[in-house]
């Protein structure tokens, strides 16, 4: 079959299952199979593809048809202009989280700080921060051993293994350490709302990284309470939160001696991140 035939057939299959990005996804999947850039496909539409590669392409299209996220199929997601390895053991990095990274880079630029990333997942947040903050070092922790292995793989890929450690542990196990900056993108979806997520997320992304309990704040409360003991005075806690959580989270922060310094809105004008400092 020719490239144009594969693109047309793949697009039609995905379109039939209401996948909005059917054309782009088809091009990305064929690019993966042929190990070519999308642009190369589009200028070589009449090139014939052998049967083995056609079969592989159809298998990938089938996975996407059943709503498996394109990032998991490609085993890659771009974040902060870098490619990160991802699979079903980690959340897929979101563009909204890049806004948090951008703000933190501007706040700590040129400084030598110690950073802790709680629930590091693929490691995209701390790797991006340390890559920009050249004098800084970091520790990423996660209760998922598989996620930690992926974060280590990404750290090695980006040449930062000498400046970032990744440990399979809970933040409640950290003692006798003090950090200048603690970042966390904890699970913040209410348990009752998990069933309402789109299939791409609900069926494939790790529930442990999504489910925030009855009110979505179970892990956020624990992070705020625990970080008082491991954050330096005037150190910063940067939290990503869910929609409509700002008031409740701000009250929890204030009760735990944090002063809110700034907030960041996402692309839908929801408060997505809170930056606060430990005042005593």
pLDDT in tens, 90-113: 999 999 899 999 999 999 999 999
The C-alpha R_g of the chain, in whole angstroms, comes to 21
Q: What is the predicted pLDDT for the residue at 172? A: 87
Note the pLDDT tens digit of each residue in 116-145.
Answer: 999 999 999 999 999 999 999 999 999 999
Average pLDDT for residues 210-219, to the nearest whole number? 94
Q: What is the predicted pLDDT for the residue at 144? A: 96
Of 80, 87, 69, 79, the C-alpha closest to 25 is 69
For the chain, the domains span 3-66, 77-278
Residue 167 has pLDDT above 90, yes or no: yes
The band of 176, judged by pLDDT with boundaries at 50, 70 and 90, is confident
Residue 267 has pLDDT above 90, yes or no: no
Contacts of 7 (CB under 8 A, 6+ apart): 23, 26, 27, 30, 41, 45
What is the assigned CATH class of domain 3-66?
Answer: mainly alpha
Percent of the chain at pLDDT exceeding 70? 100
Strands (E), the chain: 77-79, 82-84, 114-118, 137-142, 164-168, 179-184, 231-240, 258-265, 271-278
pTM beyond 0.75, yes or no: yes
What is the assigned CATH class of domain 77-278?
Answer: alpha beta
Give 3-state DSSP helix, strand, coil % of the chain, rounded to 5: 45, 20, 35
């Amino acid at each position: 079959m020719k490239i144009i035939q594969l693109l047309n057939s793949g697009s039609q299959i995905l379109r039939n299952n209401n996948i909005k990005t059917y054309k782009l996804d088809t091009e990305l999947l064929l690019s993966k199979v042929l190990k070519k850039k999308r642009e190369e496909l589009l200028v070589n539409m009449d090139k014939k593809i052998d049967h083995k590669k056609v079969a592989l392409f159809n298998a990938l299209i089938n996975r996407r048809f059943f709503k498996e996220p394109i990032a998991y199929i490609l085993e890659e997601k771009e974040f902060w202009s870098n490619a990160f390895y991802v699979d079903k053991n980690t959340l897929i990095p979101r563009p909204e989280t890049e806004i948090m990274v951008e703000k933190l880079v501007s706040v700590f630029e040129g400084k030598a700080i110690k950073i802790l990333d709680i629930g590091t997942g693929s490691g995209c947040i701390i790797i991006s921060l340390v890559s920009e903050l050249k004098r800084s070092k970091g520790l990423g922790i996660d209760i998922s051993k598989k996620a930690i292995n992926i974060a280590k793989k990404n750290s090695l890929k980006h040449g930062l293994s000498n400046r970032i450690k990744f440990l399979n542990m809970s933040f409640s196990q950290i003692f006798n350490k003090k950090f200048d900056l603690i970042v966390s993108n904890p699970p913040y979806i209410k348990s009752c709302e998990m069933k309402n997520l789109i299939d791409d997320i609900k069926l494939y992304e790790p529930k442990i990284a999504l489910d925030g309990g009855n009110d979505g704040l179970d892990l956020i409360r624990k992070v705020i309470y625990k970080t008082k003991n491991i954050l330096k005075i005037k150190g910063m806690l940067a939290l990503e939160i869910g929609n409509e959580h700002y008031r409740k989270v701000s009250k929890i922060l204030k009760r735990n001696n944090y002063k809110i310094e700034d907030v960041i809105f996402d692309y839908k004008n929801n408060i997505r991140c809170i930056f606060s400092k430990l005042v005593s």
